Structure formats: C-alpha cells, structure tokens
Structure 1
C-alpha cells in the first residue's frame, strides 16, 4: 500500500509513537494532522515535525470527537489514513488494588471504545477514497497479558478482536485496509513507571509501522512480539510466563 500523498490523522500524536509516526509520514510527503488532549504539547510537536495541522481533542469526549470530524471535513475534505494511537494504562496488581474497576473503565474507554467511536465517525470519509487505511495501535498483551497491566491487557484484547472483525467486514465492500501494530515495550512517557531497560524506541515502532503498511502486513509485530506471538499459539501458558518473567 502506498504511504505517500495521503491525508493522515493520528490520535495521541503529541509525543511518543504517535509523534514519531507523524514525523515519518510527513517525510514521505503526506499531510498529517495530530490530535491530543494538550494544546500546548500539540503546538510544540507540530512545530517540531512540521505537521500540517493539530487539533486538541479528548478521544473519550463525544462532543470533541464530533468537532474533530467537522474540522477534518471542512479543512481537508478527505481522509486517507486514520491511526488510533491514543492510549492509557495503569500499572497495578489485582490482588491488592482498590481501584481496579476505575482503572479498567478508563483504559477500556480510551484504548478500545474511543477507537471504535472515532473509526465509525470517520468511515464515511475513508470510504470515499480509492485506497484508505485504519491503523490501530495495539499490544502483544492483547494475546499474552502482563499481570502488572491486567486491565490494560484486557482493553488491548478487545481492540485486537475488534480489529479482526473490522478488517473482514471492510474487505467485503470497501477499499479500506485495517492494520494492527503490536510493539514490544516502548520507551515513552506511557511506560516510564515500568522498571525495565528492555524498551524499544518510538522511532523503531514508527519505521516498522510504515514498512508494514507498505508491505500489506495486517498484523505488524515490532521488537520481540513476533516470536512471543508465535509462542502464544504453540504454548500459551509458557508465553505468559515468558512475558511476565515467571520461572
């Protein structure tokens, strides 16, 4: 699939994976719009990477999502790529956490339900293009849960299931392709509280994402997730122990 000459919208584009992916798309000659909750962060990121535009939007707010759709429609008149990258996670363990339900509610709303909503809202624009794509930033924890990120893992499992159904459904009647990116642990603000040095860079994820899209790899594994994904299907229990470093 071509990754040049497109109008690209990236949620959570003010930092980390979103920002680096936006940077690569811009370098390939695309018009890129980044969104996020912080207008100040977006302004700084857009100036740094040369984004075509930015729009402050809380993806969990119906009113703000509607405003985003109106902005893209009026300012650009089209959309070729939608990247659902906005995410949220809470590091906790189920046996001693008193806010599990609150954590799960916030993660499921941001990581899964918001992606479903934004995708549905932008489908009419995407359908108008001869070639379009939806890129969902997922996680290997959707297959192999991290026990210190239990409800986050569950939200990514939901996103994976939805991505599979969406891919099949859209392939029946549209030219929209659905990609799912599953990186190893990435060194961003998102993971700063996770105590490990085994983190890959946002640049690695961005490069692998565009490469996977160009090769029509619908499930894009970055870092060690490819091997862990295969391990899951052959030995699910051992894959869980490997991810969580359980002997």
Structure 2
C-alpha cells in the first residue's frame, strides 16, 4: 500500500494515537481528515496539525455517521483510507454494578460503530484504485486483562471482524484491511491504567507507516508482538503475563 498521496479519514484524531497518526501521515504527503466529539479539543488539534481537516462527529451516533458519509462523498470523493481509531474504555467494570451498561458503551464505540462506518464508506473506497481500512484494536484483543475486561472483549470482537472483513474484501475488491494493535500507550486515554508507563504514541504511528508500506496486515506494535507469540506457544503463560499478581 502506498504511504503518500492518500486521502485518509482518522476517527478520534484530535488526541492520542489518532493525533500522532494524523501528524505523521500529513507530514508524509497525505491529505488527512480527522473526527472527534469535542469541539474545543478539535480546535486545538487543528492548530497543531498543518493542513489537516477537522470534522466534529460522534461515531456512536447514526445521524452523525450519515452526515459524515455524505460530506466525505461530496467533498472527498478520492477518499481511499479509513482509520477507525476512536475508542472507549472503562476500568474494573465487572463488579461495579453497571458492567452491562459500560460494556455496551465500549462495544458500541469499539466495534459496532466501526462496522457501521465501514459499511457507509466502502462504496467510496471501492471506487478508488488503491484503498484500505485500518482498524485500531489492542494487545488485549489476543489476551485479556481483568482490569479492562469488557474493553478487551470489544477489541477481541474487532479483531475477529477485521480478519473476516480482510478475507471477504480480498476476494471481492481491492480494499486492504489492516489491524493496528498497540500495547499500553502513554496518552490521556490510558492515564487511568498507568499509561505513563506506556510507549509514546509516535512509536505507534511510525510502526503503522512501516507496516502500511510493506502490506503487513496485522501490526503488532512493541510488547504486542511478544504477547502474541507467547499466546501461541503458551496461552496460560500469556494470560498470567497480562494479569500479574500484585
């Protein structure tokens, strides 16, 4: 897949991993559009991101997605890459008394809204000669962590969907499907779970750019690669590594 000259939509692009992806891809000669729910955060991001277009949009709302699809079809008919990065996560929800409610929010943002957006934008992507969908999942798509159990379940669902979508589109179109799988990353999003100990988001963006240019469809960033291989060789050890005592 080419790494320059693309027109790229990044959901959740006003902060964290999405912001660094937007900056890196824009600096490498791509036309980038970002979405985010918060107008103030969006305005700050656009000041820092030269040449990037911002659209305030909540990916969990059907009306917002419909409006976004119309705008992209009209204003960006050469759109050839969608990076589904927007996410939601809660900590220690299983015994909180509202686990189902929180899990529903995570599943809607991290899984169902991605299916909806991809469905809306696939006609545009298929109309371009070289196109891709990128789903940002997580290290916990392979091995769960009990402190973010329902978040991990939503990412496991996204991983399964990404694999199925890749097979289908390989056989029916030229649209490629990538899955970007970061470990713990130092962002505001991960601050509740010790994000300060994670890798910088720029490292994720750099890994993605390399993988994109080499058609590496499952992108295991940093520690994710170690956990993936451990899960293949010893699932029990991988589960213990992701859920240490103390």
Per the normalisation by structure 2, the TM-score is 0.97
The residue aligned with 2:127 is: 128
**Is the 8 Å Cα contact of residues 187 and 195 (structure 2) preserved in structure 1?**
no
CA distance in 1, matches of 2:109, 2:98: 17
1:1-247, aligned counterparts within 5 Å?
1-94=1-94, 96-195=95-194, 197-246=196-245
CA distance in 1, matches of 2:42, 2:96: 33
CA distance in 1, matches of 2:33, 2:79: 10
Task: Give a deviation string over 1:53-100, Cα, whole Å, max 9, x none.
Answer: 111100000000011111111112221110000000000152x31110
**Is the 8 Å Cα contact of residues 33 and 51 (structure 1) preserved in structure 2?**
no
- Does the C-alpha gap of structure 1 residues 132 and 196 become closer, same or farther in structure 2, counting only changes over 3 Å? closer
**Is the 8 Å Cα contact of residues 147 and 244 (structure 1) preserved in structure 2?**
yes
SS of 2:199 mapped into structure 1: coil
RMSD across aligned positions (CA)? 1.2
Task: Give a deviation string over 1:119-170, Cα, whole Å, max 9, x none.
Answer: 0000000001111010100011011001000000000000000000000000
**Is the 8 Å Cα contact of residues 93 and 147 (structure 1) preserved in structure 2?**
no
What is the Cα deviation at residue 196 of structure 1? 6.1
CA distance in 1, matches of 2:217, 2:194: 31
What is the Cα deviation at residue 52 of structure 1? 3.1
* Structure 2, unaligned runs of 5 or more: none
* Structure 1, unaligned runs of 5 or more: none
Alignment coverage as a number of residue pairs: 246
What is the Cα deviation at residue 246 of structure 1? 3.5
CA distance in 1, matches of 2:74, 2:26: 21
What is the Cα deviation at residue 108 of structure 1? 0.1
